[in-house]
Amino acid sequence: MSEDKIKLKDGVRLFVSPTDNGFACGVIEDDWMYTDEGYFCSVIARGMMKIACEKPNEVFEEGLEGFNLDIKAKDNKQNINGNDNNIISIVPFINKKKLN
């Protein structure tokens, strides 16, 4: 198994902030997002933001489930996937979509 390194400094930054009537969310743009490597991360981040704005109740429920999984993982002293990373391959998704 190859060791993937998570590049936090090159990550796309999402924000969720409270407002008087609920929340606001957005993507903090960075030049890195417009590189070939950053493009996929940027698209995923914008998709997450879109879903949060269109279906906040579903995103909230998923968040609660995520917290429960985190608690179980801590109790079992492992992360959700049973290994030391949460790296997801984008290749199967790309193969199904034709990129512009």
pLDDT digits (tens, 9 = 90+) for 57-93: 999 999 999 999 888 888 776 544 444 456 677 677 6
Predicted local distance difference test score (pLDDT) of residue 50: 94
pLDDT in tens, 12-66: 889 999 999 999 999 888 888 888 878 888 888 999 999 999 999 999 999 999 9
Query: At residue 95, does pLDDT exceed 80?
Result: no
Residues 6+ apart with CB under 8 A from 83: none
97, pLDDT greater than 90: no
Q: Do residues 10 and 33 touch, judged by C-beta distance below 8 A?
A: no
